[in-house]
Amino acid sequence: MAGDVKPATRVVEAGRRVEWTGAVVNPPVWRASTHLYADSADLKRGRPNEDGHFYYGRRGTPTQWALADAITGLEPGAAGTVLYPSGVAAIAGALLAVLRPGDTLLVTDNAYEPTRTMATGLLGRFGVRARFFDPLDIAGYRAALKDGARCVMLESPGSLTMEVCDVPALAALAREHGAVSVIDNTWASPLGFAALAHGCDIAVMSLTKHVGGHSDLMMGSASAGEPWHGRLRQTAQALGHVVSPDDAALALRGLRTMAVRLERSTASALEIARWLEGRSEVARVLCPMLPGAPGHDLWTRDFTGGCGLLSFVLAERDEAARARLIDALRLFGIGYSWGGFESLAIPFDPAPIRTEGRWPPAGLAAEDRLGIRLSIGLEDAGDLVADLDRAFAAMEQE
Ligand SMILES: *Cc1c(COP(=O)(O)O)cnc(C)c1O
């Protein structure tokens, strides 16, 4: 595949090797556990432990390899990609590939909540010490690195509060101090942020979100250059991680339209962010694509695209008011996850979870603290604005 084509073209081309697709467009769903060998000599010869050499179903079939190869093709600097049964499994797979008992793991304070729980819970039980840092406080982060860390876990933007951190600076500092940087790049995907090219060692994504894109599958991935790709692979095999070929085929189908879906949901999210900014009920819009919003400068510097996920903080409203707003929405489902074709809304309140930094964010009053996160889908943006407009009116009717 030509390296000089644009990402939108790579999304269409990547992973479509003729040895996997044959004479059709998509690789067939290769359901298999067992390889049948021609004879004893063939069995004895074995198969190299790499994608492309069928050995046993747990090491994948052409359907999974095609998906992994396609993601590698989108991630500049990646030697390969390992697939996992969920995004959380991918985060676990990456951290377990890096950490040993006695190590310190630095975790960004805006991390996805299950990542926090994994760091203090599961990894804690195996002798890893977790420390949280404010992703916007580089001096504090540098001091934590000086105390010794084996690994840093980044996430930018944070998937609830949308802070964009200076990933190139944080990754470079990690490397300087001998720490491995892992980033949860689910929000931007490699189309919006080339994580490895910006200095991260391992880029993790929940494929459940933008890649699947249709709210009907769970999967995760981790991409890296060597030696990390090899270690990810070894660790995933030791843990017995494998994804279903049916799900891999669905994810690959989703991937082919990801660039246009992201373009559309980004444009709609920006339109909605602009509208929210003009509302007196809203204390702050958290959307890095929006000029003047927190993180916009770094987003403009480092990112090549956005997505439909944004949040806002209500001005001086209580939980009952927030519930009235959310319950009045007709075009937004109430539910976790995001990146599907359909819009979603959930309430969030990071204060009890986070340990560093501040919430409400700087510049807001203590009463401006209740968040709502929107995942903007592929509906007409004007219809979504009208739905929000009606819901804001319903919020004020006690
Ligand atoms: C959803 C999500 C995950 C976890 O992915 P699953 O596929 O649901 O396990 C990880 N990180 C972020 C930022 C997410 O939003």
Q: CATH code at 34?
A: 3.40.640.10
The confidence score (pLDDT) of residue 358 equals: 77
Contact 178, 106 (CB under 8 A): no
The residue count for the chain: 398
- Residue 294 in contact with ligand 1 by CB distance below 6 A: no
The confidence score (pLDDT) of residue 234 equals: 97
- Residue 86 in contact with ligand 1 by CB distance below 6 A: yes
Contact 185, 207 (CB under 8 A): no
232-242 pLDDT per residue, tens: 999 999 999 99
**209 catalytic residue (yes or no):** yes
Residue closest by Cα to atom 2 of ligand 1: 206
247-272 pLDDT per residue, tens: 999 999 999 999 999 999 999 999 99
- Asked if 235 and 305 sit in the same domain, the reply is no
291-336 pLDDT per residue, tens: 999 999 999 999 999 999 999 999 999 999 999 999 999 999 999 9
Given 256, 283, 306, which residue is the final one in a domain?
Answer: 256
- Asked if 214 and 319 sit in the same domain, the reply is no
Q: How many CA atoms lie within 13 A of 122 on its CB side?
A: 14
Residue 239: what are its φ and ψ, rounded to 5°? -85, -5
Listed residue (190, 265, 277, 236) closest to 94, CA to CA: 236
69-114 pLDDT per residue, tens: 999 999 999 999 999 999 999 999 999 999 999 999 999 999 999 9
14-23 pLDDT per residue, tens: 999 999 999 9
Q: Which of 31, 45, 58, 301 does the annotation list as catalytic?
A: 58
Q: Give me the chain's average pLDDT, please.
A: 96
The confidence score (pLDDT) of residue 351 equals: 85
Which tokens is 127 given? 């002798």
Rounded to the nearest whole angstrom, what is the distance from the C-alpha of residue 88 to the centroid of ligand 1?
6
- Residue 220 in contact with ligand 1 by CB distance below 6 A: yes
Question: Does the residue 372 lie in any domain?
Answer: yes
pLDDT of 3 strictly over 70: no
- Asked if 35 and 143 sit in the same domain, the reply is yes
Cα separation, 29 vs 199, whole angstroms: 35
As for how many domains the chain has, the answer is 2
Of 109, 162, 206, the one to substitute when testing ligand 1's pocket (max ligand atoms within 8 A of C-beta) is 206
Given 241, 256, 271, which residue is the final one in a domain?
Answer: 256
The confidence score (pLDDT) of residue 398 equals: 79
Residue 1 pLDDT level (bands cut at 50, 70, 90):
very low
Question: Does the residue 1 lie in any domain?
Answer: no
**58 catalytic residue (yes or no):** yes
Given 223, 256, 289, which residue is the final one in a domain?
Answer: 256
- Asked if 47 and 196 sit in the same domain, the reply is yes
- Asked if 178 and 102 sit in the same domain, the reply is yes
- Asked if 242 and 391 sit in the same domain, the reply is no
**31 catalytic residue (yes or no):** no
CATH of residue 390: 3.90.1150.10
Q: How many CA atoms lie within 13 A of 330 on its CB side?
A: 7
Cα separation, 1 vs 4, whole angstroms: 9
Residue closest by Cα to atom 4 of ligand 1: 87
Rounded to the nearest whole angstrom, what is the distance from the C-alpha of residue 200 to the centroid of ligand 1?
19
Range of the domain at 376: 258-395
- Residue 184 in contact with ligand 1 by CB distance below 6 A: yes
Give the strand pairing for 129-133 and 333-334: unpaired
| pTM beyond 0.85 | yes
The confidence score (pLDDT) of residue 319 equals: 96
**184 catalytic residue (yes or no):** yes
- Asked if 271 and 321 sit in the same domain, the reply is yes
Rounded to the nearest whole angstrom, what is the distance from the C-alpha of residue 65 to the centroid of ligand 1?
22
